[in-house]
């Protein structure tokens, strides 16, 4: 299948490589010259522009940081035309960015008028899941379009869930990431308390992992350096899922909660704590670095 892939960040680059290795014909692009150079060296064909990737493509996949980037890509900005004016009718668009559900619906509605099918398919699983091809996709849009996308999604993920109409995938994702932000803070608080009392973080992590406090952070993504070799915490919080990206997602959850008048007090507190952590200079570090905000000095 001929695929255009736009967005080669920590997640998108690995996802594109998996499609390339699976035998699909890819053309990829990112505004970062360094990202393009990096993945070109790994054998990924790189186009000169986002517009150049969609020429002849049957499927267009975007993996971008925020709503503004997705809006700019598909609708254009200033005198620059958006991709919706260049993508042929009949093409399937898969947007795996985590953005506002309203933006996903806006893109889907505009695309439908041009005969272009769109699904929102944000992911969970982190960079490890992107590399391993074991991501979870949360899909919004028409079920028939999901079935068209399934052979492509299956090369990048192990779990595919249909959440509902356009924007439903985004709603599921912000609910998931709100919970993730909350549980990472809770896990960090517990570990920091234990260490402040002289406990070995490895021992405490294993106790909690096998007890009622067990959760995904303790299983896969421990926030304490040296406890889990594969976690960003053991790599000086490099790579992974950035604090500023978590802050963005928590912001989306709170905007949505306000719109539907849902009560999310812990989500709001988590958002404020991540904002403080970002302002302290940790925005580019992995979101598990929030433990630094909770540790006693010298810990």
Q: Could you read off the pLDDT of 76-108 as tens digits, one per residue?
A: 987 788 999 999 999 999 999 999 999 999 999
pLDDT, average across residues 245-254: 96
With contact defined as beta carbons under 8 Å apart, do 47 and 26 qualify? Answer: no
Active site residue 173: yes
Mean pLDDT of the 199-218 span:
98
Mean pLDDT of 279-297: 94
| Annotated active-site residue in 21, 173, 202, 292 | 173
Q: Is the pLDDT of residue 245 over 60?
A: yes
Place 126 in a pLDDT band, splitting at 50, 70 and 90: confident
pLDDT > 70: what percent of the chain? 99
Choose the weakest-confidence range: 161-175, 188-202, 229-243. Answer: 229-243
Phi, psi of 286 (to 5 degrees): -55, 150
Distance between CA 114 and CA 94 in Å, rounded? 16
Res 11 pLDDT > 60:
yes
Give the mean model confidence (pLDDT) for residues 272-294.
97
């Amino acid at each position: 299948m001929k695929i255009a892939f736009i967005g080669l960040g920590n997640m998108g680059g690995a996802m594109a490589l998996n499609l390339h290795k699976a035998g699909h014909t890819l053309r990829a692009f990112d505004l970062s010259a360094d990202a393009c150079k990096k993945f070109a060296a790994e054998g990924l064909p790189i186009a000169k522009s986002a517009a150049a990737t969609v020429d002849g493509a049957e499927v267009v996949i975007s993996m971008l940081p925020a709503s503004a980037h997705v809006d700019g890509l598909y609708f254009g900005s200033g005198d620059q035309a958006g991709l919706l004016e260049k993508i042929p009718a009949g093409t399937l668009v898969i947007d795996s960015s985590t953005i506002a559900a309203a933006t996903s619906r806006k893109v889907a509605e505009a695309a439908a008028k041009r005969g272009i099918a769109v699904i929102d398919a944000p992911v969970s699983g982190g960079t490890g899941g992107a590399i391993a091809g074991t991501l979870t996709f949360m899909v919004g849009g028409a079920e028939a379009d999901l079935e068209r996308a399934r052979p492509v999604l299956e090369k990048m993920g192990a779990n595919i869930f249909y959440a509902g109409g356009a924007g439903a995938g985004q709603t599921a994702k912000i609910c998931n990431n709100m919970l993730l932000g909350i549980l990472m803070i809770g896990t960090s608080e517990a570990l920091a308390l234990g260490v402040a009392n002289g406990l070995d973080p490895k021992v405490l992590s294993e106790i909690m992992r096998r007890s009622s406090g067990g959760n995904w952070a303790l299983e896969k993504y421990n926030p304490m350096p040296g406890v889990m070799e594969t976690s960003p915490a053991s790599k000086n919080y490099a790579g992974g899922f950035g604090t500023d990206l978590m802050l963005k997602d928590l912001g989306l959850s709170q905007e949505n909660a306000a719109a539907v008048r849902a009560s999310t007090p812990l989500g709001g507190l988590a958002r404020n704590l991540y904002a403080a952590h970002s302002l302290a200079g940790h925005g580019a570090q992995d979101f598990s670095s929030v433990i630094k905000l909770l540790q006693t000095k010298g810990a």
